[in-house]
Amino acid sequence: MPSSSVKRQRRRKRRNMEDGGDPEFQVAPMVDVLLVLLLFFMSITSTELLKKEKHLELAQAKNATPQDKKPKTDEIVLNVGWEPKNKTAIFTMDGMQYPNADAMQGILADRLKQNPRSYVLIRADKDVEYSNIADVMNACASVGISTVTFAVITGGATDNKPAGAPEGTPQQ
């Protein structure tokens, strides 16, 4: 026959089991936290991908110097693609396409007002005519952006790493 202390322990156990018992590992809140983290990282990744155009083939430069380690918040990425059928340049910035470089001046001016340290990174297709690049540079100069850099593939045909990219970065 169990002693009175053992009976009390059993009663406490039964009461604890009825009241919810010992706390157990809750899976639902952990899944919620993981989904929030997943959405956060997906949103960050998609904003970075908007700056890159897959159809661009960057020019190669054997003697390119790596870009300084500037914060990415200061960077304004302008993509200049080339349409070989029509022999026209395609200007894009932040996923928006513009008919010419002058059409981007208003947005460039706004971005410069928001961040006076802004600089422009031009990612131009290797087939784009120089006059189109000059138009982009003139548009930058007209709004007061004095620092313009170019994304190129360094090291010639064997190395497909853009200038200024950290080690292990694939071609942009």
> Degrees (nearest 5) of the Cα angle 90, 80, 67?
170
- Quick: pLDDT tens for 121-144: 899 998 899 999 999 999 999 999
The SS3 call for residue 129 is coil
Model confidence, pTM: 0.58
Strand partners, 123: 79
- Contact call for residues 79 and 53 (beta carbons, < 8 A): yes
The SS3 call for residue 63 is coil
- Quick: pLDDT tens for 3-28: 777 777 777 776 666 555 556 777 88
Rounded mean pLDDT, 36-51: 72
Q: Which amino acid is at 104?
A: M
